[in-house]
Amino acid sequence: MKTTFAGSYVAIVTPFHPDGSVNFEKLRELAQWHVDQGTDGIVVLGTTGESSTMSHEEDDEVAACVIETVNGRIPVICGAGSNSTQTQLEKSRKYHDLGADGLLLIAPYYNKANDEGMYRHFAAVADTVDMPIILYNVPGRTGCSISPSVVARLAKHPNVAGIKEASGNISYTAKIAKLVNEDFCLFSGNDDMILPVLSLGGCGVISVWANICPKQCHDLVASFNAGDVARARQLQLQYLDLINALFCEVNPIPVKEAMNQLGMNVGGYRLPLCEISEAGRETVRRALEVLA
């Protein structure tokens, strides 16, 4: 069932009310806005979506809200990962039944499995749930990495469609690109490396930056794919300071701050995440001047 995902996919934030509950009205508004702005797909319940601080019931409600709002117009990929393989399998089944177009499965954090355990962690879902799976490699968060050999092995599975590569290591990315086939989607998981990953055969980006610049992020990928490398390079470098500012503190604190400064009113965070520092707030404010 290999499915080709490509383009600019937003790792969408989860907006909260002042009391900390999910703001579903705002979430529907954001999902519709991304469709209107040309975003190629939406990833819900990822790192940026703060699913690590939400209950399973809230995760299900957020996924259902976005899937219903988008209504098949662009793909919706749901983060179903866990360091418990059984929990990951249960969440994957749920999002399959809700009508998601794909799953984003993170490496098993804290457990830090060996290569065989890492393979089986993902294969358990791929063998059971008949829908496209995107692996998620982000060792800065998980404390472990999916080895290139495990990625190559999983890439042969008909339900493993690609990887979100967020190590920030271009050497690792090149190794992955060399080992997989053209029908395997290689997404940049780092907004400051969209163009380099595309140059290695990448299919696009799963982006934090797209939460505030969906059109520019889409245009960067589309320009490269149309052969206009100069335009893609210009966009990558023009917005590099803003992209870096969105990671001046742990994600998604700065991007939510940026959205709130822009009047998007996505609310705050759940502990252990909290409001941005004054220095971080000023860094974000200055970086947003590029949009003026």
Catalytic residue numbers read: 136, 164
Report yes or no: 194 and 210 within 8 Å, Cβ to Cβ.
no
Report yes or no: 44 and 22 within 8 Å, Cβ to Cβ.
no
- Which residue type, as a one-letter code, is found at position 233? R
Quote the tokens at residue 202. 């990448």
- Look at residues 104, 243, 116 and name the one whose alpha carbon lies nearest to residue 185: 104
Report yes or no: 55 and 40 within 8 Å, Cβ to Cβ.
no
| HSE, side-chain direction, 13 A CA sphere, residue 43 | 33
- Secondary structure of 226-263 in HEC code, one letter for each residue: CCCHHHHHHHHHHCHHHHHHCCCCCCCHHHHHHHHHCC
The DSSP string of 262-275 is TT-------TT--P
